[in-house]
Amino acid sequence: MSSSSKVVIRLMMLLLILLVSQSNANQFKSDNMCSITREVLCVKQVFEIITTTVKIIARTISEVETNIVSSDANIDTVNHIFKQQLYKIRDQLPTRQYHTKLLRLNNINKAYLIHLLLEAHDAMSFYYNSIDDILNVSFVSSSNVQLKQIQDNLRYEIICEYRSVLNVYSHEWTPINHINRLEFAPTTYPSTPSFTHNYQSIFVVKILNEWMKLIDSVIIKLKAENFLTANAS
């Protein structure tokens, strides 16, 4: 084989590797969660959308809790299982490392901001998936309407908005099908479909509500310290 033929073969192999890599990258990034990752002219405006949505979700969570409390005669047992489940599966829950630490910091760099965005994106994707599992059970509950609203808010006004900001920094994110979801531990209580639905719903929305408060506090901190202005360029 001539040297020129060897060069051509190597170039073709390199081109094939590049094409496969690009295909894998596109597959990784596209999970049909967001129809378009929009161009962001002002990162602060994106965080305003997220802040508004966080408050909307918090109100809807309150409606879910009220709905379940008023309809379930075993609400004391539901609350007991919440504590029991929290102890058993807390290691599954998304980390809050960067969010919690930020509240004590006076300055952050671009790398820290990206870690913060990814942490929130992955956590919200985790709860999106967990709500999806609850909604996909055949049992129909009056709280499903609110759960679906929370899920849609998470998807379009939080997860997709975080992706838009990550896109500003040309940074990848984890697609939804690569994100875990809650796997509830077995309980010692007799379990009807209604009872299971209620305690799982209460668990997810209670923990999610803690994240809503944390995200709100973090965004207030980001804006107050001008972290967004400093890192958006």
Q: Does a structural domain hold residue 36? A: no
Range of the domain at 132: 44-231
Give the model's pLDDT for residue 1.
59
Q: Does a structural domain hold residue 194? A: yes
- Rounded to an integer, the average pLDDT of 47-75 is 90
Q: Does a structural domain hold residue 154? A: yes
Q: Does a structural domain hold residue 38? A: no
pLDDT at 8 over 60: no
pLDDT tens sequence across 86-102: 888 889 999 999 999 99
Give the model's pLDDT for residue 205.
96
pLDDT band, very low/low/confident/very high, at 76 (cuts 50, 70, 90): confident
pLDDT at 191 over 70: yes
Token pair listed for 58: 């918090």
- Rounded to an integer, the average pLDDT of 16-23 is 42
Q: Does a structural domain hold residue 14? A: no
pLDDT band, very low/low/confident/very high, at 46 (cuts 50, 70, 90): very high
| Buried residues in 183-209 as b, exposed as e (16+ CB within 10 A) | ebeebeeeeeeebbbbbbbbbbbebbb
Q: Does a structural domain hold residue 66? A: yes
Least confident of 7-16, 155-164, 187-196: 7-16
Helix axes 144-153, 43-71, angle to 10 degrees: 170
- Rounded to an integer, the average pLDDT of 161-182 is 93
Give the model's pLDDT for residue 59.
98
Q: SS3 breakdown of the chain: % helix, strand, coil, rounded to 5? A: 75, 0, 25
Q: Does a structural domain hold residue 205? A: yes
Q: How many domains does the chain have?
A: 1
Whichever domain contains 129, its CATH number is 1.20.1250.10
Least confident of 112-116, 209-213, 229-233: 229-233
Euclidean distance between CA atoms 74 and 81, whole angstroms: 11
